[in-house]
Amino acid sequence: MRQKVILTLLLVFSIFSHSSYSQDRTVINFTDGWKFQKGDVENAYEANFNDTKWQSVSVPHDWAIYGPFDKEVDKQTVAITQNNEKVASEKTGRTGALPFIGVGWYRKTFSVDVNNNQKAILTFDGAMSNSKVYVNGELVGGWPFGYNYFYFDITDYLKKGETNTLAVRLENFPFSSRWYPGAGLYRKVQLIVKDETSFQHWGHFITTPYITGGLAKVNIKSKVNGENITVETIIKDAEGNQVASGKTDARFGDELEQNIPVKKPHLWSPENPYLYTAEMNLYEGDQLKDTETIRFGIRKIEYSREKGFLLNDVPTKFKGVCLHHDLGPIGTAINKAALRRQLIILKDLGCNAIRSSHNMPSIEQLELCDEMGFLFLAESFDEWKKPKVKNGYNLYFDEWAEKDVVNLIHATRNHPCIVMWSSGNEVPDQWGSDGVKRAKWLQDIFHREDPTRPVTVGMDQVKAVMESGFGAIMDIPGLNYRVHLYDEAYKRFPQGFILGSETASTVSSRGVYKFPVEKASDKQYDDYQSSSYDLEYCNWSNIPEDDFVLQDDKDWVLGEFVWTGFDYLGEPTPYDNYWPSRSSYFGICDLAGLPKDRYYLYRSRWNTKETTLHILPHWNWEGREGKTTPVFVYTSYDSAELFVNGKSQGVRTKNDSTKLDRYRLMWMDVKYEPGTIKVVAFDKNGNVAETQEVKTAGKPYQLILNADSEVINANGEDLSYVTVSVIDKDGNPCPLAQNQLKFKVSGDATYRAACNGDATSLEMFHQPTMKLFNGKLVVLVQSGNKAGNAKLTVSGKGLKSASTQIEIK
């Protein structure tokens, strides 16, 4: 696997719903009817425990996102070694300053018919954390790692013909995370009732060991329970037409294997995320016992010393971002509409890849990446045996690491988007021989469970892994930052390529600009914001151009995963020594999902289908008249001319004199005067191709609403994200507006949350009021369970209010 790994895979994902696939399989979503209580409640596991005064909640649920923000929650005195700190200092907001620490109980009653020849499987996609699961007062089992998927056979714990009680105890320890982990049953819970003679849970693994332009051989391995088994598969294309079928009763242990030819296959890729379905039927003799409907994609991946990463034989660079699992104002509770919005924004950016940092992804995220076309690097751990934080994964590594890796692979290996695994991120075990052995042990588990994909580790101690052999044994050597060591690492490592597993960590605040404009490390300001001129970074990181040069000039660099696509709760570097500051500054988009200026810098390189032309900064600088106020343009065009109130400031053309000049157009000597700045971009023939203007705005006058979805589903979960902006009387955006706004939702929907993207704001997301941050914020409207219409009204003192209609259907 070191020099050339040919990976050919047809991947699958079972689509479950609250319905019956056959007479013997029913999947029930445990969404509603839960009771919740924070605190370690004695005897809460007992079936007859009185929970009538507990809070009624729906799952997925994050109990900590409702706050309040409090610096005492996660205040700690520590030296963060990943940030090159040598001396301990007081840190606040490191885990979002939200009350995730402690015990929480969930309880639910349910009735289910389970016959003598059936079994009941209770599944959890994630429970944060240290779960203990009880059915009818008896302990069924537990799972400590909050990011993993797990399940229990609860057949013997059920009371037939009676109401059953499910109770779940969760506990988050202090000093257990480096970011906001969330709290609670934050991913879905399901009950699967099926025949004892059936497919095993996560029992399918499908690959395509042979693909040409005219044929794909589909290899299907299915683990089963029962005797005298036959498995039949019908493969359908995206339009529902049958294109292939197969049948086998040849059995090896508990596994049956099929090889089915698919003629003229449509190959899955980010440009064409084509998905098939497979109807898999299990028979005992002539009797149908189990059926699963499976969605899958056919695609071929290869990692080559000569050509880098190839997808379907096409050289492909990763244009990726890292994403933490929180969804900003709604916390960690999984919501498919929120995830979809993120991916739509990233598609427009030109992003083609996601790294789940630094944990196992949700099934919903993988489903969407399959559908929308994103390559995926699925990560497992932020810690191995050696701790980063006192109560982190180091407590569980010896007993649970193999179990966690096995569950990760079995639950997700059939998604076409996943093209690589990561067994760790910046683990302190990079030092010493024990770490090398752990890396090899984990990689061998990944290979054993899935021989079709390579394994990487995000390595930040590059000198250490060069000396110890840690980096040499990895399938894919991943470098986190350390751009100055890329050439040496390439020479020292045997693989013949390097992945930018984590890059840039440039910091910025949307709509904030600082003077003088200069490149700076660990720069801090009195307002606890970072400049959006995109020249500020951390002592261990760099500006985007340092990675752009490596991606563009080094064929042996496989691509990059930028830290991060969106701001996230926690890690408020460079202000983790200051309060208030409770979320990150690293995002290409802010916590509300609004693009920062840096979005357009990446878009100008990554989105090759559409043009980009973006001016910064805003042009409201009262008091800076006559002072130098540089203007930057992020654009896909090579040259442009800048005008200030009609007067030319000259033409700038991208060139190789500096890294910045290669990727940005910059006018460093512009003097501020109120009015209009205008940029005129030229095509390669020197003709005017596109223009853009930014004007000095007057006083805030009117609110403007723009919904990303004017029609949402009546499922009680769907969301419309409404961007709220302020304009003056002439319609110009007001980039400095900080007005306090109020939100009201009427009709067949509810107000869910708001977010302004300000890392220093202590306003709670779920309250129907919030201040604008630099002229913008976002309001989330959530659908009800019936069709109809909803109306969002936003108002603010001294502003003309605005409303928008949202259809629920």
Residues identified as active-site: 426, 502
Rounded to whole angstroms, how far apart are CA atoms 5 and 499? 15
Rounded to whole angstroms, how far apart are CA atoms 101 and 121? 29
Cβ of 71: how many Cβ atoms within 10 Å? 17
For 167, the token pair is 């109770």
Amino acid at 710: E
Rounded to whole angstroms, how far apart are CA atoms 434 and 236? 49
Q: Mapped to the 3 state alphabet, what secondary structure does 161-206 carry?
A: CCCEEEEEEEEECCCCCCCCCCCECCCCEEEEEEECCEEEEEEEEE
Q: N- to C-terminal Cα distance for the chain?
A: 50
Directed axis angle between helix 336-349 and helix 597-606, to 10°?
Answer: 60
Rounded to whole angstroms, how far apart are CA atoms 197 and 136? 26
Cα 114 to the chain's mean position, in Å? Answer: 37
Assess contact for 324 and 290: CB atoms under 8 A. Answer: no
CA distances in angstroms from 180 to 297, 482, 657, listed in the order given: 34, 26, 42
Which of helix, strand or coil describes residue 409?
helix
Rounded to whole angstroms, how far apart are CA atoms 177 and 160? 41
Cβ of 313: how many Cβ atoms within 10 Å? 13
Assess contact for 698 and 729: CB atoms under 8 A. Answer: yes
Rounded to whole angstroms, how far apart are CA atoms 708 and 514? 31
Rounded to whole angstroms, how far apart are CA atoms 572 and 123? 35
Bridging pattern class, strands 776-783 and 749-755: antiparallel
Rounded to whole angstroms, how far apart are CA atoms 120 and 122? 7
Q: Mapped to the 3 state alphabet, what secondary structure does 628-677 carry?
A: ECCEEEEECCCEEEEEECCEEEEEEECCCCCHHHHHCEEECCCECCCCEE
Amino acid at 336: K
Bridging pattern class, strands 788-796 and 802-808: antiparallel
Closest CA to 377 of 127, 558, 185: 558
Facing residues of 37 across strands? 105
Assess contact for 654 and 639: CB atoms under 8 A. Answer: yes
Rounded to whole angstroms, how far apart are CA atoms 334 and 365? 9
Cα Rg, the chain, nearest whole Å = 27
